[in-house]
Amino acid sequence: MSKGAMLALAISITAKAFENKVDKGGNPYILHCLRVMNSVGTKNEEKACAAVLHDLVEDCPEWTCSKLSALGFTDKVVGIIYLLTREKTTPYMEYIKAISVDKDASEIKIADLRDNSDITRLKGLRKKDMDRIEKYHAAYVYLLN
């Protein structure tokens, strides 16, 4: 793929996959993916692609790492996506520890955690929101160390 084409494809795939989906605050879900991508920057195209695609395989059953690979995404991008995709049976902190072995995956997950912990995105705060933020904070601290 030519320079820039891989990122354009990643953004396009993510926008289409999350079309008509909203986040916990009722906003278009694609905005979360774009904020995570912008947080890690776009100078490194592979990292930017992985950032914008970070929720795709986990949240959209029609997408797999194999499918992304077949579309021409590099092994680096697909490897990061694989690390960032949590299987439902994997304990959360075990998943975080697996991410921590890769610098780019860790940076993307930290950006994801920051965005997901932004309470201004929520319509209100309930106990389950506070519990989720507490879990995210533990992951954030682990990945920073």
CA distance 27 to 4: 27
CA distance 55 to 35: 13
**In the chain, how many domains are there?**
1
Q: Has residue 7 got a pLDDT over 80?
A: yes
**Residue 15, amino acid:** A
Per-residue model confidence (pLDDT) at position 40:
98
CA distance 5 to 2: 5
CATH of the domain at 97: 1.10.3210.10
List pLDDT tens digits, range 36-69: 999 999 999 999 999 999 999 999 999 999 999 9
The two tokens of residue 29 are 């879900």
Enclosing domain of residue 111: 5-144
Q: Are 54 and 33 in contact (CB under 8 A)?
A: yes
CA distance 131 to 117: 11
* Percent of the residues in the chain that have a pLDDT greater than 70, as a whole number: 99
Q: Has residue 133 got a pLDDT over 80?
A: yes
